[in-house]
């Protein structure tokens, strides 16, 4: 009884402290800093603008992450020649369109990773949020993005969750300029959301040019040999990796060149499966 009373007392004190903090430092939107209700990460406007593509992304190919429904402003047909789906189409109906086999976008691609979970399309406010989350000063934003991605991973991979989580690293000079690695913040939040450890398996072997500036062929060459396992894991049969299902977290997936290279490194060290989880999937016309 005494323990119960003490627990209640501490709980009441913690609640009072949180209420006082909310009064002195009201919770703010992780993106625009407007005041939000307690427990909310984003204000109503930011939440709506970030989630605009969620229904469309529910149709995404599980192999490459490319949606089967068209983006706004498209010609009126999706990649398979079907009419546009209206906003009345439910997320459940959209999700039923997913296929395990390659889609029209990836059927001719050699992909080292096994599957992709993508939260949003890389457009509009999502682009701004991802760029901001690269910097250590925006760690709360990265954490909020990671938690949302983690909820989606838990749903999409229910019953087949990865064994462990890691992330795509950035070069030390880039980390120094940004104050850290935004992907690590996102990946840590994903790991907590699905109940898995987030480990630092990978490192860069050299500086990499920004992929956004390069053609598809140049992107592949830019990352070729640019990643390796950290020395503590760099031996054949590492128990942390061998025969495990590894989830690699990144902020954006465009051509898959980086994901392919990272997955290759992990497979070379014995990973059984490699999946990708990204905050956003870049959608380009084919």
Per-residue model confidence as pLDDT tens digits over 64-99: 999 975 445 433 333 333 333 334 444 444 433 333
Give the whole-number percent of the chain exceeding pLDDT 70.
77
| 199 within domain boundaries | yes
Residues 129 and 262 reside in one and the same domain = yes
Instruction: Please tell me whether the overall predicted TM-score, pTM, comes out greater than 0.95 for this model.
Output: no
| 24 within domain boundaries | yes
Residues 40 and 167 reside in one and the same domain = no
| 79 within domain boundaries | no
pLDDT of residue 231: 75
Chain-centroid distance, C-alpha 139:
14
In tens, the pLDDT along 163-172 reads 999 999 988 8
Domain count, the chain: 2
In tens, the pLDDT along 128-147 reads 999 999 999 999 999 999 99
Residues 232 and 159 reside in one and the same domain = yes
pLDDT of residue 234: 60
Residues 5-32, mean pLDDT to the nearest whole number: 55
| 83 within domain boundaries | no
Residues 1 and 122 reside in one and the same domain = no
Q: Tell me: pLDDT of 26 over 60.
A: yes
Instruction: Write down which residue in 30, 50, 70 finishes a domain.
Output: 50
Q: How many CA atoms lie within 13 A of 164 on its CB side?
A: 15
Residues 186 and 261 reside in one and the same domain = yes
What are the angstrom distances between the C-alpha of 34 and each of 29, 30, 45, 126, 186?
5, 8, 10, 17, 22
pLDDT of residue 22: 45
| 28 within domain boundaries | yes
- Which strands sit side by side in the sheet containing 245-253, from one edge to the other? 115-121, 273-281, 245-253, 164-167
Q: Which domain holds residue 190?
A: 110-281
In tens, the pLDDT along 181-214 reads 999 999 999 999 999 999 999 999 988 877 776 7
Instruction: Write down which residue in 50, 66, 83 finishes a domain.
Output: 50
Query: Comparing 19-23, 157-161, 233-237, which segment has the lowest mean pLDDT?
Result: 19-23
Residues 6 and 115 reside in one and the same domain = no
Residues 26 and 118 reside in one and the same domain = no
Residues 117 and 42 reside in one and the same domain = no
| 5 within domain boundaries | yes
Residues 175 and 265 reside in one and the same domain = yes
Q: Band the pLDDT of 101: cuts 50, 70, 90.
A: confident
| 231 within domain boundaries | yes
Residues 13-34, mean pLDDT to the nearest whole number: 62
| 96 within domain boundaries | no
Domain CATH number, residue 235: 3.40.50.2020
Residues 130 and 217 reside in one and the same domain = yes
pLDDT of residue 175: 84
The answer for residues whose C-beta is within 8 angstroms of residue 165's C-beta and 6 or more apart is 187, 190, 191, 194, 196, 197, 198, 199, 246, 247, 249
Residues 8 and 137 reside in one and the same domain = no
Residues 132 and 259 reside in one and the same domain = yes
- Three-state SS string over 91-118 comes to HHHHHCCCCCCCCCCCCCCCCCCCEEEE
Q: Tell me: pLDDT of 14 over 70.
A: no
> Which of left, alpha, beta for 76 (phi over 0: left; psi -120 to 50: alpha)?
left
Q: By the 8 A CB rule, do 71 and 286 touch?
A: no
């Amino acid at each position: 009884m005494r323990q119960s009373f003490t627990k209640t007392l501490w709980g009441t004190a913690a609640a009072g402290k949180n209420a006082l903090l909310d009064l002195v430092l009201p919770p703010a939107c992780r993106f625009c800093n407007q005041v939000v209700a307690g427990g909310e990460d984003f204000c109503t406007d930011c939440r709506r603008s970030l989630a605009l593509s969620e229904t469309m992304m529910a149709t995404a190919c599980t192999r490459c992450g490319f949606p089967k429904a068209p983006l706004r402003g498209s010609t009126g047909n999706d990649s398979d020649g079907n009419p546009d789906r209206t906003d009345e189409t439910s997320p459940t109906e959209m999700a039923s369109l997913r296929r395990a086999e390659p889609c029209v976008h990836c059927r001719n691609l050699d992909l080292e990773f096994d599957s992709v979970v993508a939260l949003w399309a890389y457009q509009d406010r999502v682009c701004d949020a991802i760029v901001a989350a690269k910097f250590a000063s925006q760690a709360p934003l990265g954490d909020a993005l990671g938690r949302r991605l983690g909820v989606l991973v838990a749903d999409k991979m229910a019953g087949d969750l990865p064994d462990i989580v890691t992330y795509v690293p950035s070069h030390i000079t880039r980390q120094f300029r940004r104050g850290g690695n935004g992907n690590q913040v996102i990946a840590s939040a994903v790991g907590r959301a699905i109940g898995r450890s987030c480990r630092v398996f990978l490192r860069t072997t050299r500086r990499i040019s920004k992929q956004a500036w390069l053609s598809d062929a140049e992107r592949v060459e830019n990352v070729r040999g640019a990643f390796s396992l950290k020395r503590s894991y760099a031996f054949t049969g590492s128990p942390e990796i061998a025969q495990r299902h590894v989830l690699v977290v990144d902020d954006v997936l465009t051509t898959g060149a980086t994901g392919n290279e990272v997955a290759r490194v992990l497979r070379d060290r014995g990973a059984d499966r490699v999946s990708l989880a990204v905050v956003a999937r870049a959608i380009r016309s084919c």
